[in-house]
Amino acid sequence: MSVSLTAPSEGLFPVSYLIGNNAPGAPRLQLDLLVYTPDRSVNGHAQITQTTNPPLELGLDAWGTYSYLTVQPPSEGKILLTVRGNHGGPHANSPEQFELRALLDLDWQKGTASYRYYNGQRWIEVDNVPVVLELKRIQTLANVDLTTELHNATLEAVIATGDVAQLKQLASGAVGKALDQALASTKSPATKAAKKA
C-alpha cells in the first residue's frame, strides 16, 4: 500500500548561488533566483564574470523550472534546475544567451552544474562545476523566514519521492504529530474497508 501525501501548494523564497571552481581566470556565475513552488518555476538574474583581458561581465535575466529526480534507496533524490537567460526575459525579442542545468541536493544548499553562455562571438561551455548557496547575498524579505521556506521546499522534495521515513525524520513538532496521525488514520480498519468498497 502506498501513502499519498500532498506537497505545500504555496511558497516563494529567494536563493543565491555561486557557481564555479574559483580557479584563476575561470568564469564565475552568480545566480540570484526567486523560487515559486506552486508551478515549480524560477525567475531572477544571472551575472557571469571572468578576469580575463578584456574582462567579461555579462548580466542577464534568468528564468526556468525545477523538478525532483528520484533514485533507488538508499540514495537520495536530487533537484534538477533548468535555467535560460537573455536580455529582457522570456517574452523579450532577444536571443537566448545562457543555459544552465544544475543537480542540487534536496535541501537546495549545494550541487553541481553545467552551463553555457554566448560571449558575443561564440558559445562558451563550462562543465561540472560546484554550486554553493550563498545566504549572505539574499536580501531579507518582509515576513519571509528563509530557513522555514527552504525546509518547506525540502519537505516538498521528500513528499515527491514518496519516502515516508525520511519525511517523518524531517517533520518535527506539531507537523510531525499531524503526519503521524494522518498516516495512522490510513491504517485504521474503517479506512481499509472504505478503500475496498
Q: What whole-number distance in Å separates Cα of residue 44 and Cα of residue 35?
A: 9
pTM exceeding the 0.85 threshold for the entire prediction: no
Instruction: Provide the mean pLDDT of the chain.
Output: 79
pLDDT of residue 6: 36
Cα–Cα–Cα angle for 11, 12, 18, rounded to 5 degrees? 130
Domain 12-141 has CATH 1.10.10: no
pLDDT in tens, 28-45: 999 999 999 889 999 999
> What is the mean predicted confidence (pLDDT) over 171-188?
59
Predicted confidence at residue 169, as pLDDT, reads 61
Retrieve residue 45's grid coordinates.
Answer: 538574474
